[in-house]
């Protein structure tokens, strides 16, 4: 059975999974941002996403804002290998 | 009215009066003409007077972004620009991608209609409701990359349409770039912007796009996303970009040009040029490139391009020495706002005339060669409109008027040079589209299963016909060629390629094969309905696309275009000596060498399939009445 988003979050906290960022792989497609704002606010608005992609630089800069629930949908929707889940050993 | 997908707002900018106003979309129009391309044509029919001089304040520029742009719909970042183009004198749409349309929609606008002429160099800022015509005097003369970087420095994330010195100096083949990457307005949109003293348009938005049915959208999106994510070729596209589809190395190898072929290999691309993969907003494929020259005199050069093929293609026309030289040459053209097909084609053609003594160094100031130095020299003379460059700046038709008896040798249609030579890759719909497209030799609107696949088995066509929304009643005609060996009727099929392109472009979807293949008329309609809340059938979109294409044709009929302008370049019927190979124009399956008579029969079939008069090549009264367009005659 599939986990609910809240169960996913609990699971993540329990397993202490980190999001590892590989900015050099980011294409600037903003799919992660758009999916985030759509999931949480039902609108496609990059500025309302909890993940921010700054395409101003040659290599896009990726950051997470306060309020991010670690639902990891951004990771699941990244097709370019810029976001990766990795277990935190600590 | 609550708007979904569409923002509902059209921005009117009168540059002469510096007057900016906003009008609301008309929902009745949006049911007859879809978004970007469809509404561009509708506004042009209402606003653009026939016989307007393209380089005059009376010409207009309409920039549209379709209803899916600004959402996460895969590949929904098209920006469509309509104007009367100076290279051909035709009214046409030109498309580009990257982030301008995305930001325009986020700022709350579906379309911008620009008219008049600013009294000084200006740029248009569209930052949510802060729309303003700003002074661009300090930017005039700057190249496109410098200009775009300045705006990126000022506005951070934003979409930028900018012109370079070529557009400022009204070079008829000049274009604009979106985000210094995507070409926008082949055929002279750069010159139209230049004539309006409009250096750039900058869009930045924070309003967001609401959609009508989030639940249904989510279902549709997740299914499509899963299909794309698991598609076998996706990782190859990420790795190789457009090189995955267009094997320039193989073409040069077949020509016997092994030295050149070694410059455009996958290995060279991956080890020596590719730096980062670029994607437009919402694109899961990402086949655009940032390349970096890492050795030699141009070391450190970084170039953004809509396709690595743009750079490698220079080897097909010219005798460049290295991939680094090609990258530098492409970068120079791009920064100036010159077309990287047009200028190398001029050099190739003029060098041929020079070798035959028709052009001389004394008359032109140039010792013509197909090399890097000549290309750069010619580009500079064109942009500065100096000497012989002033003739080339006014395009192929001016060159034809200058020298007797050379026009028949030019590989042009309606003043625009060919992109694909059917003698090299046989006659598919893209090659045929170059003849019938109202703008001139334009290929993008001719996409079909014939794309880069000469000889493809016929049984692979039917699933694509269904996907493109072609009515089954047409299938038999499509499988009835003018000669049995031809297998498929390219003339008739081109009509449906254009309609399918119009659906995609109007919605704001990318028409490149990499994304196009995931879409069908049914899925596009489902997304359109979920996003906008409209309740349309696939047939409604099919008819809206046909209506749009017919309206585009009427606009050009009013300019005086007719069947006589849909002309196969005479040189296509002559042999092309390609290395040691002699190539002739052949049908898609390679069994028939096309003659002018057979080509005319294909044209007849195209017009008949469109419901147009084959004598004039123009829409019939019956067709216009059927589509509700009779008032535009």
Alpha helices by DSSP H, B199-322: 214-229, 234-240, 248-254, 258-261, 266-268, 308-312, 314-317
The pLDDT of B525-549, averaged and rounded, is 98
pLDDT for B425 equals 87
Are the C-beta atoms of residues A49 and A31 closer than 8 Å to each other?
no
In a domain, B411, yes or no: no
| Whether the predicted pLDDT of A10 surpasses 50 | no
Are the C-beta atoms of residues B61 and B114 closer than 8 Å to each other?
yes
Check CB contact of B293 with chain A, cutoff 8 Å: no
For an interface test with A, which of B238, B276, B518 has the most A Cβ atoms less than 10 Å from its Cβ?
B276
Please provide the average confidence, as pLDDT, over all residues in chain B. Answer: 96
Residues B393 and B476 in one domain: no
Check CB contact of B556 with chain A, cutoff 8 Å: no
The answer to whether the CB atoms of B284 and A31 lie below 8 A apart is yes
Task: Calculate the CA dihedral of residues B52, B56, B57, B59 and round it to 10 degrees.
Answer: 40
pLDDT for A15 equals 53
The answer to whether the CB atoms of A31 and B282 lie below 8 A apart is yes
For an interface test with A, which of B76, B208, B518 has the most A Cβ atoms less than 10 Å from its Cβ?
B208
Q: How many domains does chain B have?
A: 4
pLDDT for A59 equals 81
- pLDDT digits over B560-618, tens only? 999 999 999 999 999 998 878 899 999 999 999 999 999 999 999 999 999 999 999 99
- What 3-state class would DSSP assign to B47? helix
In a domain, B222, yes or no: no
Domain C-terminal end among B189, B204, B219: B204
ipTM surpassing 0.85: yes
pLDDT tier, B329 (very low <50, low <70, confident <90, very high otherwise): very high
Half-sphere exposure of B630 (CA within 13 A, CB side): 6
Dihedral class, residue B8 (left if φ above 0, else alpha if ψ from -120 to 50, else beta)? left
C-alpha–C-alpha distance, residues B59 and B115, integer Å: 7
| Whether the predicted pLDDT of A12 surpasses 80 | no
Residues B515 and B619 in one domain: yes
C-alpha–C-alpha distance, residues B99 and B108, integer Å: 14
Q: Cβ contacts (< 8 Å) between A45 and chain B: which residues?
A: 106, 206-209
Smallest Cβ–Cβ distance between B281 and the set A29, A38, A45 belongs to A29
Please provide the average confidence, as pLDDT, over all residues in chain A. Answer: 85
C-alpha–C-alpha distance, residues B191 and B590, integer Å: 40
- pLDDT digits over B134-184, tens only? 999 999 999 999 999 999 999 999 999 999 999 999 999 999 999 999 999
The pLDDT of B245-266, averaged and rounded, is 87
Identify the closest residue of chain A to B229 by CA–CA distance: A79
Q: Cβ contacts (< 8 Å) between B302 and chain A: which residues?
A: 58
Check CB contact of B55 with chain A, cutoff 8 Å: no
Domain A5-87 carries which CATH code? 3.30.70.20
The answer to whether the CB atoms of B207 and A42 lie below 8 A apart is no
Residues B370 and B283 in one domain: no
Are the C-beta atoms of residues B333 and B174 closer than 8 Å to each other?
no
Smallest Cβ–Cβ distance between B152 and the set A31, A44, A56 belongs to A56
Of residues B249 and B132, more confidence is placed in: B132
Smallest Cβ–Cβ distance between B286 and the set A29, A37, A43 belongs to A29
In a domain, B234, yes or no: no
Are the C-beta atoms of residues B284 and B77 closer than 8 Å to each other?
no
In a domain, B163, yes or no: yes
Give the minimum alpha-carbon distance from A7 to chain B in angstroms, rounded to a whole number. Answer: 20
C-alpha–C-alpha distance, residues A44 and A40, integer Å: 10
The answer to whether the CB atoms of B208 and A29 lie below 8 A apart is no
The pLDDT of B527-545, averaged and rounded, is 97
Half-sphere exposure of A84 (CA within 13 A, CB side): 13
Q: Cβ contacts (< 8 Å) between B228 and chain A: which residues?
A: 79
Residues B367 and B493 in one domain: no
- List the CATH number of the domain containing B31: 3.60.9.10
Give the minimum alpha-carbon distance from A46 to chain B in angstroms, rounded to a whole number. Answer: 8
- What 3-state class would DSSP assign to B66? coil
- pLDDT digits over B15-30, tens only? 999 999 999 999 999 9
Dihedral class, residue B111 (left if φ above 0, else alpha if ψ from -120 to 50, else beta)? beta
pLDDT tier, B253 (very low <50, low <70, confident <90, very high otherwise): confident
Of residues B91 and A55, more confidence is placed in: B91
In a domain, B250, yes or no: no
> In what helix (H) or strand (E) does residue B288 lie, and over which residues does it extend?
strand B288-292
The pLDDT of B422-441, averaged and rounded, is 96
Q: Cβ contacts (< 8 Å) between B229 and chain A: which residues?
A: 79
Residues B313 and B379 in one domain: no
C-alpha–C-alpha distance, residues B74 and B436, integer Å: 30
Residue ranges of domains in chain A:
5-87
- pLDDT digits over B463-481, tens only? 999 999 999 999 999 999 9
pLDDT for B495 equals 98
The answer to whether the CB atoms of A31 and B290 lie below 8 A apart is no
Domain membership of residue B595 as a residue range: 419-519+562-632
Of residues B257 and B360, more confidence is placed in: B360
Identify the closest residue of chain B to A23 by CA–CA distance: B276
pLDDT tier, A16 (very low <50, low <70, confident <90, very high otherwise): low
| Whether the predicted pLDDT of B519 surpasses 70 | yes
Angle B490-507/B521-532 helices, nearest 10 degrees? 20
Look-up of token digits 């391009």:
B305
Rg of chain B taking only CA atoms, in angstroms: 23
pLDDT-above-90 percentage for chain B: 93
| Whether the predicted pLDDT of B133 surpasses 90 | yes
Task: Calculate the CA dihedral of residues B159, B161, B165, B170 and round it to 10 degrees.
Answer: -170
Identify the closest residue of chain B to A59 by CA–CA distance: B276
- List the CATH number of the domain containing B502: 1.10.599
Smallest Cβ–Cβ distance between B208 and the set A48, A58, A80 belongs to A48
Check CB contact of B282 with chain A, cutoff 8 Å: yes
Q: Dihedral sign, CA of B280, B197, B43, B49?
A: negative
The pLDDT of B43-72, averaged and rounded, is 98
Identify the closest residue of chain A to B97 by CA–CA distance: A29
In a domain, B230, yes or no: no
- pLDDT digits over B335-377, tens only? 999 999 999 999 999 999 999 999 999 999 999 999 999 999 9
The answer to whether the CB atoms of A58 and B290 lie below 8 A apart is yes
C-alpha distances in angstroms, B320 versus B275, B323, B352, B368?
22, 8, 16, 14
In a domain, B25, yes or no: yes
Residues B574 and B493 in one domain: yes
The answer to whether the CB atoms of A38 and B225 lie below 8 A apart is no
In a domain, B510, yes or no: yes
C-alpha distances in angstroms, B427 versus B408, B450, B568?
20, 9, 12
pLDDT for B542 equals 97
Of residues B579 and A75, more confidence is placed in: A75
Give the minimum alpha-carbon distance from B441 to chain A in angstroms, rounded to a whole number. Answer: 31
Residues B396 and B472 in one domain: no
The secondary structure of residue B271, as a DSSP letter, is: I
pLDDT for A84 equals 94
CB-based contacts of B480, cutoff 8 Å, min separation 6: B489
Residues B321 and B381 in one domain: no
Low-confidence winner among A39-53, B242-256, B276-290, B489-503 (lowest mean pLDDT): B242-256
Check CB contact of B181 with chain A, cutoff 8 Å: no
């Amino acid at each position: 059975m599939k986990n609910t988003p809240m169960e996913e979050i609990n699971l993540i906290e329990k397993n202490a999974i980190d999001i590892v960022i590989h900015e050099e792989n980011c294409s600037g497609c903003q799919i992660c941002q758009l999916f985030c704002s759509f999931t949480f606010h039902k609108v496609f608005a990059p500025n309302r996403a909890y993940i921010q992609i700054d395409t101003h630089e040659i290599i896009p800069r990726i950051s997470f804002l306060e309020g991010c629930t670690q639902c990891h949908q951004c990771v699941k929707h990244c097709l370019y290998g810029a976001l990766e889940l990795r277990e935190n050993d600590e | 009215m609550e708007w979904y997908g569409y923002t509902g707002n059209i921005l009117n900018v009168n540059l002469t009066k510096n007057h900016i106003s906003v009008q609301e979309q008309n929902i009745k129009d949006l049911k007859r003409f879809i978004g970007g391309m469809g509404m561009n044509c509708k506004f042009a029919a209402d606003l653009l007077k026939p016989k307007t001089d393209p380089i005059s304040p009376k010409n207009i520029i309409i920039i549209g972004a379709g209803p899916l742009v600004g959402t996460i719909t895969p590949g929904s970042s098209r920006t469509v620009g309509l104007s009367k183009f100076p290279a051909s004198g035709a009214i046409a749409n030109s498309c580009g991608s990257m982030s301008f349309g995305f930001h325009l929609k986020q700022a709350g606008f579906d379309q911008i209609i620009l008219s008049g002429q600013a009294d000084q160099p200006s740029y248009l800022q569209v930052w949510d409701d802060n729309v303003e015509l700003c002074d661009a005097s300090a930017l005039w003369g700057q190249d496109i990359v410098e200009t775009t970087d300045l705006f990126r420095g000022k506005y951070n994330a934003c979409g930028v349409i900018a012109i370079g010195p070529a557009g400022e100096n009204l070079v008829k083949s000049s274009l604009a770039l979106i985000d210094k990457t995507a070409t926008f307005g082949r055929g002279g949109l750069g010159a139209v912007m230049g004539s309006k003293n409009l250096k750039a348009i900058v869009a930045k938005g924070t309003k967001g796009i609401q959609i009508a049915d989030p639940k249904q959208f989510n279902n549709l999106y997740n299914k499509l996303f899963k299909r794309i994510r698991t598609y076998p070729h996706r990782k190859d596209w990420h790795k190789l970009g457009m090189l995955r589809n267009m094997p320039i190395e193989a073409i040069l190898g077949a020509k016997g040009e092994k030295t050149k072929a070694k410059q455009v290999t996958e290995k060279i691309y991956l080890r020596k040029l590719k730096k980062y993969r670029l994607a437009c907003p919402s694109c899961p494929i990402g086949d655009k490139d940032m390349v970096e020259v890492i050795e030699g005199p141009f070391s450190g050069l970084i170039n953004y391009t809509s396709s690595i093929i743009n750079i490698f293609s220079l080897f097909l026309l010219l005798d460049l020495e290295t991939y680094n030289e090609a990258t530098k040459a492409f970068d120079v053209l791009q920064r100036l706002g010159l077309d990287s097909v047009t200028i190398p084609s001029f050099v190739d053609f003029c060098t041929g005339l020079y070798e035959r003594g028709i052009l001389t160094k004394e008359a032109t100031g140039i010792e013509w060669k197909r090399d890097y130095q000549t290309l750069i020299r010619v580009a500079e003379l064109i942009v500065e409109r100096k000497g012989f460059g002033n003739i080339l700046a006014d395009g192929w038709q001016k060159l034809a008027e200058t020298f007797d008896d050379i026009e028949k040798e030019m590989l042009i249609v309606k003043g625009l040079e060919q992109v694909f030579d059917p003698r090299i890759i046989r006659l598919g719909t893209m090659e045929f589209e170059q003849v019938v497209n109202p703008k001139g030799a334009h290929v993008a609107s001719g996409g079909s299963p014939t794309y880069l696949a000469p000889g493809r088995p016929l049984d692979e066509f039917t699933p694509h016909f269904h996907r493109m929304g072609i009515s089954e009643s047409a299938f038999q005609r499509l499988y009835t060629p003018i000669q049995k060996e031809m297998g498929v009727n390219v003339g008739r099929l081109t009509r449906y390629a254009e309609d399918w392109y119009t659906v995609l472009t109007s919605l704001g979807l990318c028409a490149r094969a990499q994304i196009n293949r995931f879409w069908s008329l049914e899925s596009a309609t489902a997304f359109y309905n979920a996003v906008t809340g409209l309740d349309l059938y696939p047939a409604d979109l099919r008819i809206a696309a046909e209506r749009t294409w017919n309206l585009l044709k009427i606009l050009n009929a009013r300019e005086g275009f007719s069947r006589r302008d849909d002309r196969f370049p005479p040189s296509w019927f002559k042999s092309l000596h390609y290395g040691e190979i002699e190539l002739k124009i052949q049908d898609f399956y390679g069994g028939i060498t096309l003659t002018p008579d057979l080509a005319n029969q294909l044209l007849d079939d195209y017009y008949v399939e469109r419901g147009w008069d084959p004598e004039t090549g123009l829409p019939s009264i019956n067709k216009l009445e059927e589509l509700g367009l009779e008032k535009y005659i």
